[in-house]
Chain A
Amino acid sequence: MLRYVLSRILSTIPVLFGVTIVVFLLIQLIPGDPAKSILGADATPEAVEELRNNMGLNEPLIVQYGAWLSQLLQGDLGYSYTLHTPIIEELMPRFVNSLILTVASMLICVTLGVILGLISALKKGSFFDKASMGVALIGASMPVFWIALMLMWLFSIKLNIFPVSGMYNMRNPGGFMDLLHHIVLPAFATATVSLAVIARLTRSTVIDILQKDYVNYFHSFGLSKSKINIVHVMRNSLPPIINISGLQVGYIMGGALFSEVVFNWPGIGQALYVAVTSNDYPTIQAGILLIALTFVVVNLVVDLLNVWLSPRLQDSIKAE
């Protein structure tokens, strides 16, 4: 078992390596010259050329990649041209803020999604089922930035229940409760699509499990229905739900980019948005890399959870 966990962890290394290549090449494809954007529009061609030489931008790609990678391996994400600070100092606190938003969104979409899906499945064909699945279909089809704007318009501007933007109240920093007050709208905006996806998947999984022979068999013993639903139906529905939830982490981090911009949430998405508009390549690279790293870690956790939850998988691993 331990060997499997180790090998699974080691197997993320080639993936991460691949991610660095893709991220590096992606940046090369973006039009624009970092040297020009540093020196401004009025810089002379000679000055630009000199800066390009100094930055190593005239070296062959493979050399540039090698230099960047060796920096990365030493934990150095590079230096931001525009902010004039080491990127890690700028990005890490923002990364934490993004994680807070992601975790909040995940909590919302997993709990609500599973509850909605479960009730819909148990009351299949009822009004609740039809209504919530209809809403889920609409929810799954709405773009995040639009939902974000609509939520802001309704709850902040019209109803004035939640703050329009930011993470804390600047004038009156209020700790956790203040954070909670600020996070509701961006978290819901980010979670909507995933909530719909999880609800729909939970519903179909639970309906599938409800028809299994063993569920009927336990009913024939006159055990309480709710207990069977929790102990047997939910337990066996977990693996697909965990899988899809893991995938949603990636989607939510992507969606958080939009809601961070709309709600002015000081996260990595907002930083990336600024970096992209100002051609700050090292920051873009570092940001994408951090998000990709999170995604890889989450997938690893999901895989290990699945093994932990499935006696069959454990046996096939032992047999290897």
Chain B
Amino acid sequence: MNVQSALNTESLLKVEGLSTKIKTPEGVLTVLEDVNLTIEKGEIMAIVGESGSGKSMMINSILQLLPKTLLEAYSGNIEVEGENLFAIGEKKMQEIRGKKISLVAQNAMTSLDPSYRVGKQIVEIMLEKTGLTKEQAKEKALNLLEQMGIDDPKRIFQSYPHQLSGGLRQRVVIAMSLACDPDLIIADEPTSALDPTVQLQVLDLFQTINQQFGTAILMITHDFGVVARIAEKVAVMYAGQIVEKGETADVIFNPTHPYTQSLIKCIPNLDWVFDKGAGKKPLWQIKGEPPNLMNLSQGCRFFNRCHVAKDICQSTNPLLKTVKPYRNEHSVRCVLIGGGNE
């Protein structure tokens, strides 16, 4: 063991002050602003946010998959095990994709090539990214499929995507993401297209993978149920910014940002479902629409929809402030909350 790994001071993934700007026909759009994230080895972290909050842009920025025609500029830093992704060049980046960081695609229904047997697609990745022979790759793929809780891996290996159910396809996609033993899996809403029972199975599968392989997982979701079930840490995103992040228990039981509070209030619980006066008592909703990133005011991006907004919110751009320091840091981007700036 060398000194570096013994000290193990480097985080697996470190995103610092990341801003991503893209080109659109209307002009340049800042889809991510001042994003800070750290994922340690073997950790499960979730990013929560509604559509358009920048979750997918986050993935595309980390894996640097934004096409040149779309990307205006990155700023800030993304480090994988201490290596700055913006400095290493495309060739090394290709090495990191799949091998260090891999993706579990959002829609398993459309993320497998309909023209090839699924086994062949897993093997294809292994053959190109690892030094395995064809036989070794096939054996490993069959093993992976079995570890994904698939009963007859041989039959699934030989199947075409359209012959599999949604749950099976998702398992195949997860097996594919593990093809080159990555240190981090980014799962992009891996359960939103699945039946509720299958959702739980797939979530448990992620947990098993995390425990068995020690793979860190960055779970992108809009569902606090998913967060509560598997994530250790969570970051809440709104309009391209992280508005709150911390340990899952802290954020769920003690949501501090008004947006997080609203999101959690939106989840119907059984008390509400079985309330006799349910018809009269509407479920909490967040009024209005997310802001247009094209013309943002200088104040808080949640101002227009916030239930506790004050005048100061409109004029002051809030910074991420630590409300609970040290190891299990909890921080919030809201001017109304006390505490020191990060």
- Residue ranges of A at the interface with B (Cβ–Cβ < 8 Å): 125, 212-214, 216-224, 227, 231-232, 235-236, 309-312, 315
- A228 nearest CB across to chain B (Å): 10
Q: Does B48 contact A (CB under 8 A)?
A: no
Which of B124-132, B140-148, B225-233 is near enough to bind chain A? Answer: B124-132
Interface positions of B from 98 to 118, Cβ below 8 Å from A: 98-99, 102-103, 105-107, 110-116
Question: Which 5 pairs, one residue from A and one from B, show the smallest C-beta to C-beta distance?
Answer: A222-B97, A221-B98, A213-B110, A222-B94, A220-B103
Residues of chain A within 8 A (CB-CB) of B116 are: 235
Q: How far is the CA of A309 from the CA of B113 in the complex (A)?
A: 13
Q: How far is the CA of A309 from the CA of B116 in the complex (A)?
A: 10
Q: Is the CB of B65 within 8 A of A311?
A: no
Q: Which residue of A lies closest to B63 (CB)?
A: A220
Q: Which residue, B106, B115, B163, has most C-beta atoms of chain A within 10 A?
A: B115
Q: How far is the CA of A217 from the CA of B179 in the complex (A)?
A: 13
- B329 nearest CB across to chain A (Å): 30
Q: Is the CB of B128 within 8 A of A227?
A: yes
Chain A contact residues: helix, strand, loop or mixed: helix
Q: How far is the CA of A310 from the CA of B128 in the complex (A)?
A: 25
Q: Which residue of B lies closest to A222 (CB)?
A: B97
Q: Does B29 contact A (CB under 8 A)?
A: no
Of the candidates A223, A236, A310, A312, which one forms a contact with B125 in the assembled complex, judged by CB atoms under 8 Å apart? Answer: A223
Residues of chain B within 8 A (CB-CB) of A224 are: 94, 128
Of the candidates B96, B128, B160, which one forms a contact with A311 in the assembled complex, judged by CB atoms under 8 Å apart? Answer: B160
Q: Which residue of A lies closest to B105 (CB)?
A: A217
Q: Does B95 contact A (CB under 8 A)?
A: yes
Of the candidates A217, A222, A235, which one forms a contact with B111 in the assembled complex, judged by CB atoms under 8 Å apart? Answer: A217
Q: How many residues of B contact A (CB 8 A)?
A: 33
Interface positions of B from 38 to 92, Cβ below 8 Å from A: 63, 65, 69
Q: Is the CB of A220 within 8 A of B97?
A: yes
Of the candidates A227, A236, A312, which one forms a contact with B162 in the assembled complex, judged by CB atoms under 8 Å apart? Answer: A312
Q: How far is the CA of A232 from the CA of B124 in the complex (A)?
A: 11
Q: Is the CB of A236 within 8 A of B113?
A: yes
Residues of chain B within 8 A (CB-CB) of A218 are: 113, 125
Give 25 CB contacts A-B under 8 Å.
A125-B69, A214-B111, A214-B112, A214-B113, A218-B113, A220-B65, A220-B97, A220-B98, A220-B105, A221-B97, A221-B98, A221-B176, A221-B180, A222-B93, A222-B95, A222-B129, A223-B128, A224-B128, A231-B124, A232-B113, A235-B115, A236-B114, A310-B115, A311-B115, A312-B162
Q: How far is the CA of A214 from the CA of B97 in the complex (A)?
A: 15
- Residue ranges of B at the interface with A (Cβ–Cβ < 8 Å): 63, 65, 69, 93-99, 102-103, 105-107, 110-116, 124-125, 128-129, 160, 162-163, 173, 176, 179-180
If A221-B97, A221-B125 touch, whether A311 touches B102 (CB-CB below 8 Å) is no
Q: Which residue of B lies closest to A309 (CB)?
A: B115
- A278 nearest CB across to chain B (Å): 52
Q: Is the CB of A216 within 8 A of B125?
A: no
Q: Which residue, A213, A217, A231, has most C-beta atoms of chain B within 10 A?
A: A217
- A207 nearest CB across to chain B (Å): 13
Residues of chain A within 8 A (CB-CB) of B179 are: 221
Residues of chain B within 8 A (CB-CB) of A219 are: 65, 97
Q: How far is the CA of A35 from the CA of B99 in the complex (A)?
A: 82
Residues of chain A within 8 A (CB-CB) of B105 are: 213, 217, 220
Residues of chain B within 8 A (CB-CB) of A220 are: 63, 65, 97-98, 102-103, 105
Residues of chain B within 8 A (CB-CB) of A213 are: 105-107, 110-111
Q: Which residue of A lies closest to B127 (CB)?
A: A223
Residues of chain B within 8 A (CB-CB) of A311 are: 114-115, 160, 162
Q: Which residue, A221, A232, A315, has most C-beta atoms of chain B within 10 A?
A: A221
If A222-B129, A235-B115, A309-B115 touch, whether A212 touches B110 (CB-CB below 8 Å) is yes
Q: Which residue of A lies closest to B177 (CB)?
A: A221
Residues of chain B within 8 A (CB-CB) of A212 are: 110
Residues of chain A within 8 A (CB-CB) of B113 are: 214, 218, 232, 235-236
Q: With contacts A220-B97, A220-B105 known, what are 9 further pairs, Cβ within 8 A?
A: A213-B110, A214-B113, A217-B112, A220-B102, A221-B102, A222-B93, A222-B94, A222-B98, A235-B113
Of the candidates B99, B110, B124, which one forms a contact with A222 in the assembled complex, judged by CB atoms under 8 Å apart? Answer: B99
Q: Is the CB of B129 within 8 A of A223?
A: yes
Q: Which residue of B lies closest to A235 (CB)?
A: B115
Q: How far is the CA of A223 from the CA of B179 in the complex (A)?
A: 13
Q: Which residue of B lies closest to A225 (CB)?
A: B94
Q: Which residue of A lies closest to B103 (CB)?
A: A220
Q: Which residue, A219, A224, A235, has most C-beta atoms of chain B within 10 A?
A: A219
Q: Which residue of B lies closest to A124 (CB)?
A: B69
Residues of chain A within 8 A (CB-CB) of B102 are: 220-221
If A217-B103, A217-B105, A312-B162 touch, whether A222 touches B114 (CB-CB below 8 Å) is no
- A71 nearest CB across to chain B (Å): 47
- B293 nearest CB across to chain A (Å): 22
Residues of chain B within 8 A (CB-CB) of A222 are: 93-99, 129
Residues of chain B within 8 A (CB-CB) of A217 are: 103, 105, 111-112, 173
- A248 nearest CB across to chain B (Å): 23
Residues of chain B within 8 A (CB-CB) of A216 are: 65
- A233 nearest CB across to chain B (Å): 10
Q: How far is the CA of A236 from the CA of B116 in the complex (A)?
A: 10
Q: How far is the CA of A232 from the CA of B99 in the complex (A)?
A: 21
Q: How far is the CA of A220 from the CA of B107 in the complex (A)?
A: 14
